[in-house]
Amino acid sequence: MRKLDTVIRDYHWGSRTALAELLGEPSPSPGPQAELWVGAHPDDPSRLRGCGVPLDRYLAANPAGLLGPRCLAEFGPRLPFLLKVLAVDAPLSLQVHPDREQAVAGHAGRGYRDDRAKPEVLVALTEFTTMSGFRAPADTVALLDRLDVPGLAPVRAAVAAGEVGGALRLALTGTTGGLVAEVASALGRVPELAHLAEPARTYPGDPGVVAALLLNGVVLRPGQAVYVGPGVPHAHLRGVGVELMVNSDNVLRAGLTTKEVDVAAVLSIVDTRTGPAHVLDGEVDGPLRTYPTPDPEFRLHEVRPGAVLAGGGPQVLLCVNGSLVVRRGGDEVGLASGESVFLPHDEAAAQVAGEGRAFWAAVNLGA
């Protein structure tokens, strides 16, 4: 087992308090701190404490021994998942991620960052507000009627006809700044759309505000999770959460951002299925709480003292409060809040003791 030094990314939407407090550092921080990365992504890999070796380079030196034969055969010589803590103080972009087939084609022909899908699951540490997936058409029509903005008539008609993809296209390509302003001023009439007030203020005139009218607004309680599969449109708005995903950086943005937007690419892969967001309460088994997803690359568990972490494949454990001790064989590692450890492939189980709480990321080859 090897303790890790991790990387913080300082995007503008980050918090000046959440990650600083998690790490026991001075708060507020000098600038926004958005994401704590725990893993081996080549852009910002964690490093082995004490020697500074990047985790991706460490794994490349002995992939079979550190990842295990099954993980290596299935995913190649890399850690297949990336664990993050997100500290969201301002809205993130409206975005989608490709599935595996789309990622392979996009990497070859459209400049995608890599050839991997990017499904993800996020567990709320605080109350967490997000948007995920298309709302049921009848519910969206009812909300648009209460909003009562005449310029939305074409979007409403498309939704009423069950053409949610067409409604998204109209919202993103046929929306003027004036219509966005009308929508923003009308949001107070519909309490269920109150979560859109901040995106509308942050990105005035952005067509993503109109597109967001089509999506489920979700407020997660601490401990609840949302799963975002390939093609599902989503945008995180506020809160702190632990997120686990495939080790990829394939993001296609539709709006609510100052970064590059590729509406055509979004429309080509968006999942137009409708219904409630995929919210998970987790499956509790003693000191473990599991958030099941269909993805073989990862599985996520909340861990309390007394938990036994089954062996097999590479694993990462991140302490989010208190202090813990992880033991496997004759090895022992102590973790304080914000600290993490990499557990290489080993069939032996690890035991967690102490007084704290952690999140355990592992592969899910039984999926």
**Segment 88-105 mean pLDDT:** 94
**Segment 67-90 mean pLDDT:** 96
Percent of the chain with pLDDT over 70: 100
In degrees, rounded to 5, the angle at the alpha carbon of residue 314 between the alpha carbons of residues 364 and 76 is 80
pLDDT in tens, 318-342: 999 999 999 999 899 999 999 999 9
pLDDT, position 154: 97
Q: Is the pLDDT of residue 367 over 80?
A: no
| Domains, the chain, with CATH or none | 284-362 (2.60.120.10)
* pTM (predicted TM-score): 0.95
pLDDT in tens, 207-229: 999 999 999 999 999 999 999 99
Model confidence at 113, pLDDT cuts 50, 70, 90, reads confident
Task: Note if 253 is an active site residue.
Answer: yes
Cα separation, 32 vs 18, in Å, equals 10
Active-site position among 2, 156, 253, 299:
253
